[in-house]
C-alpha cells in the first residue's frame, strides 16, 4: 500500500493545536485533571434517558466533550449519538497516576482467571445479574508518560446490559497505596448539598454504587467507580439488518440480476489448478449517499435515522470467480472468499485460494469489501486525521456486506450465475452445484469482517475465518499493519492518552461493520477459526476473545508445552472432542516466538518472521477447512498433536 505520500500530505496541513481550553462543562468530574473529557470511558455520564430505545438510554455526546484533533477541529457527534449504549467489546480506560500493575495485582493477559478473584483490584460487574466479568488489565505501553489504564473484557459484554466498574487497592511501584480519586471520594460519601457541583454526579452514580455494595464490593473503599450501558442488539445490528431485509424483500425468491464481463480459460500448462476465471457484476440496491456508492459515502437516512434507498439507484458489485479444473468433471461447491486488509477481489486469485479450490472442488467468488477495500485507503487516512469522517468506513462496509450477500445469492441460486454460459461446460452442464449450501472462507480482514457477513447472510451457515480476530479498537495497537496509519494518528491526535479514547470512539461505529458487533449472535452458525500463533498482523488475544464470545471450542492440544506464556493458555475456551460438530478454534504453530504481552505489535527481527500466511498455505489446514465447510465437522488433521504449519515465504 502506497501510504507514505498521503501521510506526508497530511503532515503538511496538521499543525500543533493551541493551548487546551478549560475543562468543558459536560466532562465527567471523576476524570478531572486528565485533560480528557470522556474519561473514565465508557461512561453513562455521557448518555441521556430515551424511552424509545431498547436500553432506555442514548449517547449524548457534544462537540465540546469529544477529542479535538491537532487543528482544533470539533467532531460532529451525530453518528455516535445514534447508539443506545457503548461497544460490547469496549476497552475500559482510566488514568491513575503512579499505578503499578504488578504491585496492585492487576490481572494480566497471561493470567485472565485472576480477574475473577474475590479481591481483584478491578471489578467489572453486570449490574443486573451481579456476574463478575473476566478481563485483563494493562498500562498503555505506547505512552511513556501518562500511560492509560486499559481494561479489556476477555469475552464480549452482553448486548443491552449495564455494567459497573470499580478500581480498588491500587498501589505504586514501591507498594504504597494510591490516594483515591478526590471527586469520587466525595461522591461515594454522604449526600452532598443541593448546590454542590458534584451533587448531580452523586445522584447519577447512586444505583451503580448500590449494585457494587449488594455484591460485596464496598464503594467507599474504591479509588473510583462508574457505570456504562452496552448498546442493544438493535442498535448494533439494526442498520445492516434493515438494508438486508429491505433488499431481500424486494428480491424475493429471484436471483439477483448479474452480468458476466469476462471469461478467461487456462490450459493446464498455464494453470494446473484453475480452468476458468470469470469476472462480472451483480446489481445490488444501494443505501449510500454518493453516486455508485463511491468511497466517502455514508448511509442515506430517513428523519428517524433509519437507512433508506439511495437517490442514485443501485450499485454494481464487481466479482471475480475461480473455477477449478475438477468442476468440468463434477460440479463444484459454491463459496465466497473474503479478501485481506484494504485489498480487493483480485485476492481470490492468490495461490492458496486456487489450491483450496483445486484440491477440494470449490468455486470461489469474491467482491470488494467496500468500505475497507483498496479504493477506501484515502478515506481511512482522512478519518484518522479527523474522526468526524470515520462513519464513512463502517457505513460503506455495511453496503459492502450487502454486496457480498447478493454475490453469494447469485452464485448459489439455480437461476443466478450458473444460468450464464460462462458457468457451464460446452455441453451445458453446470460448473457449480447450486443444490449445495453456500459457504464462506475469508482471511485476515476477510475473517474480521467475515463474522458480520456470516451473521447477516441468510445463505451462509458454515464459514472459515482464517487468521482472524475482532475489535479493531484492540487490534490496531497490536498489529504490525497499523504502523503507517499510526503516523497519521500521531500527527492528528499526538497525545497518546487521547489516542486511546479515539480508538474506542472509532470502535463504537466500527461495531456496525465488523464481527465485534455481531459476535454475540453467531451461536447458531458454524464457524471454524484458524489462528497463526504469534501472528504479527492479527493479535492472538483478539481471536481468544472472539472464540469465548461465539462459544467456539478449542482443538487440543493447541500448542506444545512451553510455547504459550499464559498461566492457563487460552483461558476460558472449552476443549473440543474431535470430530466436533460446531464452532471451533485451531491454533497453527510455525515456530514464531510468542507475541508481546503488551499492547504493542510483534515485529521482526525480535519476534521472528510473521506466520500470518502460514495456515492457509498448509495442505493439512486446507484439508480441515474443506471437511468443515462440506460436513460441518471439525476433524483431526494433526494426528492428535498440536497443529503445525510449515513457514512460507
- The predicted model scores a pTM of 0.96
| pLDDT tens column, 249-280 | 999 999 999 999 999 999 999 999 999 999 99
Q: Which residues contact 275 (CB under 8 A, 6 or more apart)?
A: 265, 266, 323, 324, 325, 327, 328
| pLDDT tens column, 351-378 | 999 999 999 999 999 999 999 999 999 9
Q: How far is CA 98 from the centre of its chain?
A: 32
**Alpha-carbon dihedral 17, 21, 27, 28, rounded to 10 degrees:** 100
Average pLDDT of 13-24?
A: 46
Residue 588 near residue 559, CB atoms below 8 Å: no
Say whether pLDDT at 648 is over 80.
yes
Average pLDDT across the chain, whole number: 95
pLDDT of residue 32: 82
- CA dihedral (487, 491, 495, 497) positive or negative: negative
Strand order across the 135-139 sheet: 92-94, 149-153, 135-139
Q: How far is CA 58 from CA 27, 47, 98, 224, in A?
A: 17, 5, 34, 24
Say whether pLDDT at 19 is over 80.
no
Q: How far is CA 503 from CA 75, 90, 499, in A?
A: 14, 10, 6
Q: Quick check: helix, strand or coil at residue 128? A: coil
d(CA 466, CA 443): 4
pLDDT of residue 33: 81
Average pLDDT of 383-407?
A: 98
All structural domains of the chain, each given as residue ranges with its CATH number in brackets, are 23-231 (2.60.40.1220), 240-436 (no CATH), 437-471+514-649 (no CATH)
d(CA 245, CA 478): 36
pLDDT of residue 14: 47
Say whether pLDDT at 564 is over 70.
yes
Average pLDDT of 194-216?
A: 96
Amino acid at each position: 500500500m502506497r501510504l507514505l505520500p498521503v501521510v506526508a500530505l497530511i503532515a503538511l496541513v496538521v499543525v500543533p493545536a493551541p493551548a487546551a481550553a478549560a475543562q468543558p462543562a459536560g466532562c465527567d468530574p471523576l476524570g478531572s485533571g486528565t485533560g480528557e473529557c470522556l474519561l473514565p470511558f465508557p461512561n453513562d455520564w455521557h448518555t441521556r434517558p430515551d424511552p424509545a430505545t431498547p436500553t432506555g438510554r442514548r449517547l449524548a455526546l457534544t462537540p465540546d466533550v469529544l477529542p479535538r484533533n491537532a487543528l482544533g477541529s470539533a467532531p460532529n457527534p451525530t453518528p455516535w449519538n445514534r447508539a443506545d449504549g457503548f461497544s460490547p467489546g469496549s476497552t475500559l480506560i482510566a488514568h491513575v497516576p503512579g499505578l503499578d500493575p504488578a504491585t496492585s495485582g492487576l490481572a494480566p493477559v497471561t493470567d485472565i482467571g485472576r480477574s475473577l478473584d474475590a479481591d481483584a483490584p478491578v471489578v467489572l460487574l453486570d449490574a443486573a445479574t451481579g456476574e463478575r466479568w473476566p478481563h485483563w488489565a494493562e498500562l498503555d505501553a505506547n505512552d511513556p508518560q501518562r500511560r492509560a489504564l486499559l481494561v479489556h473484557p476477555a469475552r464480549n459484554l452482553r448486548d443491552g446490559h449495564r455494567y459497573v466498574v470499580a478500581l480498588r487497592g491500587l498501589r505504586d511501584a514501591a507498594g504504597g497505596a494510591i490516594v483515591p480519586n478526590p471527586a469520587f471520594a466525595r461522591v461515594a460519601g454522604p449526600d452532598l448539598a443541593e448546590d454542590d457541583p458534584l451533587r448531580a454526579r452523586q445522584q447519577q452514580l447512586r444505583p451503580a454504587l448500590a449494585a457494587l455494595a449488594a455484591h460485596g464490593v464496598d464503594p467507599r473503599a474504591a479509588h473510583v467507580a462508574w457505570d456504562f450501558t452496552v448498546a442493544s442488539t438493535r442498535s448494533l445490528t439494526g442498520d445492516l439488518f434493515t438494508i438486508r431485509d429491505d433488499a431481500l424483500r424486494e428480491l424475493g425468491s429471484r436471483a439477483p440480476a448479474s452480468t458476466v464481463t469476462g471469461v478467461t480459460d487456462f490450459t493446464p500448462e498455464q494453470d494446473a489448478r484453475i480452468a476458468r476465471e470469470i469476472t462480472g457484476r451483480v446489481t445490488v440496491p444501494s443505501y449510500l449517499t454518493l453516486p455508485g456508492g463511491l468511497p466517502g459515502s455514508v448511509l442515506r437516512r430517513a428523519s428517524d435515522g433509519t437507512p433508506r434507498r439511495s437517490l442514485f439507484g443501485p450499485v454494481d458489485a464487481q466479482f471475480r470467480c475461480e473455477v477449478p479444473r475438477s468442476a468440468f468433471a463434477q460440479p463444484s461447491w459454491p463459496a465466497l472468499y473474503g479478501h485481506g486488509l484494504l485489498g480487493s477481489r483480485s485476492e481470490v486469485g492468490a495461490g492458496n485460494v486456487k489450491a483450496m479450490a483445486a484440491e477440494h472442488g470449490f468455486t470461489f467468488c469474491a467482491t470488494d469489501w467496500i468500505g475497507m477495500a483498496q479504493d477506501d485507503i484515502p478515506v481511512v487516512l482522512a478519518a484518522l486525521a479527523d474522526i468526524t469522517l470515520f462513519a464513512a468506513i463502517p457505513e460503506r462496509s455495511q453496503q459492502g456486506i450487502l454486496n457480498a450477500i447478493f454475490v453469494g445469492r447469485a452464485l448459489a441460486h439455480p437461476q443466478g450465475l450458473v444460468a450464464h454460459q460462462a458457468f457451464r461446460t460446452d455441453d451445458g452442464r453446470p460448473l457449480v452445484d447450486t443444490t449445495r449450501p453456500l459457504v464462506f472462507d475469508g482471511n485476515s480482514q476477510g475473517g474480521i469482517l467475515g463474522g458480520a457477513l456470516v451473521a447477516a447472510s441468510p445463505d451462509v451457515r458454515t464459514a472459515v475465518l482464517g487468521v482472524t480476530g475482532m475489535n479493531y479498537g484492540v487490534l490496531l495497537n497490536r498489529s504490525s499493519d497499523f504502523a503507517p496509519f499510526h503516523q497519521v494518528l500521531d500527527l492528528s491526535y499526538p497525545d497518546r492518552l487521547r489516542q486511546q479514547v479515539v480508538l474506542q470512539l472509532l470502535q463504537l461505529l466500527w461495531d456496525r461493520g465488523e464481527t465485534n458487533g455481531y459476535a454475540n449472535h453467531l451461536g447458531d452458525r458454524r464457524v471454524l477459526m484458524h489462528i497463526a500463533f504469534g501472528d504479527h498482523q492479527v493479535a492472538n488475544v483478539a481471536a481468544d476473545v472472539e472464540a469465548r464470545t461465539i462459544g467456539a471450542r478449542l482443538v487440543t492440544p493447541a500448542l506444545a508445552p512451553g510455547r504459550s506464556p499464559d498461566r492457563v493458555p487460552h483461558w476460558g475456551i472449552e476443549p473440543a472432542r474431535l470430530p466436533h460438530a460446531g464452532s471451533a478454534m485451531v491454533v497453527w504453530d510455525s515456530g514464531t516466538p510468542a507475541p508481546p504481552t503488551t499492547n504493542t505489535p510483534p515485529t521482526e527481527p525480535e519476534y521472528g518472521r510473521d506466520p500470518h500466511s502460514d495456515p492457509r498455505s498448509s495442505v493439512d489446514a486446507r484439508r480441515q477447512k474443506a471437511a468443515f465447510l462440506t460436513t460441518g465437522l471439525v476433524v483431526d488433521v494433526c494426528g492428535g498433536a498440536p497443529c503445525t504449519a510449515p513457514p512460507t515465504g
